[in-house]
Amino acid sequence: MLLLAQMPQARHGPSQLKPPALHVKSWLSSKQGPEETGRQGQPQGPGLRTRLLVTALFGAGLGGVWLAMRAEKEQQQQQRRTEALRQASVGQGDFSLLDHCGRARCKADFRGQWVLMYFGFTHCPDICPDELEKLVQVVQQLEAEPGLPPVQPIFITVDPERDDVAAMARYVRDFHPRLLGLTGSAEQVAQVSHSYRVYYSAGPKDEDQDYIVDHSIAIYLLNPDGLFTDYYGRARSAEQIADSVRHHMAAFRSVLHGSGH
């Protein structure tokens, strides 16, 4: 299981926002002609059309306030979750691995980029291919939206005994042209896995010397500062993950603009 505990979120009720006053009476009176009269010739109150207009304007005001309150509440919840995840000290420190082209890679190489990262192994029969396919779907959805920064997909093996550079190169080409496969020595893989709280354990070998590696299943999101920002388990769909990444991107932009960068 993934050794990450989702921090509880504090519950805050909606702030007591007063609906904006609707100064429609004077505007309506300036636009209306003579007062309507009833059958007895007595002045009547505002007509049906006027009352509908007042109701519509009042409802629109309340709707706008409700939407603003909801957006503010969602943003506060996301900020609390992000801060709790950062305090979990996941992804601290550097790592040193080889990519599927044989080039040395470290954490600093991905600064300035959004990263979606998955730990698995190439001999995995079903879960790893499914999760990598989901990760690729997220990247493709975000690539199709103008104005969004690109997301770098990364696959890190937890089976360095079999997943050398050549094996990783053969594997990643079946998913996405920008999917980067990372491998290394047993010690290097152990270091990066420990940094991201990834559990893995190789099972017994069969008569063909084949074996399964039991491991944590999660897709990690890193922001352009290289900080672990969120993670997504098997239950999250590609659409849900893409939506979450969009929210994190928007929050990151707002922080940058707010700090004057």
Pairing of β 104-106 and β 180-183: unpaired
For residue 128, say whether it is annotated as part of any ligand binding site.
yes
Contact (CB, 8 A) for 59 and 67: no
As a whole number of angstroms, the distance between CA 96 and CA 114 comes to 19
Q: Which two tokens stand for residue 236?
A: 């999250």
The answer on whether 124 is annotated among ligand-binding residues is yes
CA gap 212, 200 in Å, rounded: 10
Tokens of 23: 């100064």
3-state SS class at 115: strand
Reported as half-sphere exposure (CB side, CA atoms, 13 A), residue 258 has a value of 6
Q: Which residues are annotated as a binding site for Cu cation?
A: 124, 128, 215
Q: Which residues are annotated as a binding site?
A: 124, 128, 215
